[in-house]
Amino acid sequence: MKITDTDVGNDNINYINNNTSKIIINEHNNDKNGPKIIDLKSKTLMRQLRRGFNKYLIRNSTHEHYNDTSAFTKLFRRNFNKYTPHDLRKCISSQAIHEGDPVKIKILERNQGHILMNKYNIGDINFKTKKACLEFTRTKIKNLGCCTIDKENVDFDFSIIF
């Protein structure tokens, strides 16, 4: 990721614009809706990044950017007690979910390219895993047995979904 002070000429790379305090991710494996833009709110971080102006944020031993994620992941693990960038991403996501800030969660979902919470829904009932949804459905169907469900039945709302 290059540190620069302009958006001009950077359409095909990922970069940090020091003037706008934003990370612009043009190349991403979940790139469905165009570039991802992440606001950097720390003035201290922006001052530190200024020192690497026109260089890459993370460089290999020859001061060039990493050509693949495997080499970067190895470097990250070496420097952060065997944790990976994926571990860091999960921590950031978990913190946002714990705080319950819907705006923060939506921003992370957009940047990560997937939903963080309640992937499986049946009506207004939300499940975090497919297995939990399946177990709930199997239990409901087993408990219903062979019967007629009318509007007075407590499971009526559940049954009209099928």
pLDDT tens digit string along 137-160? 778 877 877 666 666 766 666 544
Phi-psi region of 24 (alpha: psi -120 to 50; beta: other; left: phi over 0): beta
Tell me the per-residue pLDDT of 116-137, one tens digit each, with 9 for 90 and over: 766 677 777 777 777 888 788 7
**DSSP of the chain:** -EEES--TT-TTS-EEETTTTEEEE-S-TT-SSS-EEEE---HHHHHHHHTTTTSBSSB-TTS-B-SSHHHHHHHHHHHTTT--HHHHHHHHHHHHHHHT-HHHHHHHHHHHTS--S--EEETTEEESSHHHHHHHHHHHHHHH-S----TTSTTHHHHTT-
Give the domain ranges of the chain: 1-63, 66-115, 120-159
The pLDDT of residue 77 is: 85
100-116 average pLDDT score: 80
Tell me the per-residue pLDDT of 3-50, one tens digit each, with 9 for 90 and over: 888 899 888 888 889 899 998 888 777 666 778 888 888 888 888 888
The pLDDT of residue 146 is: 63
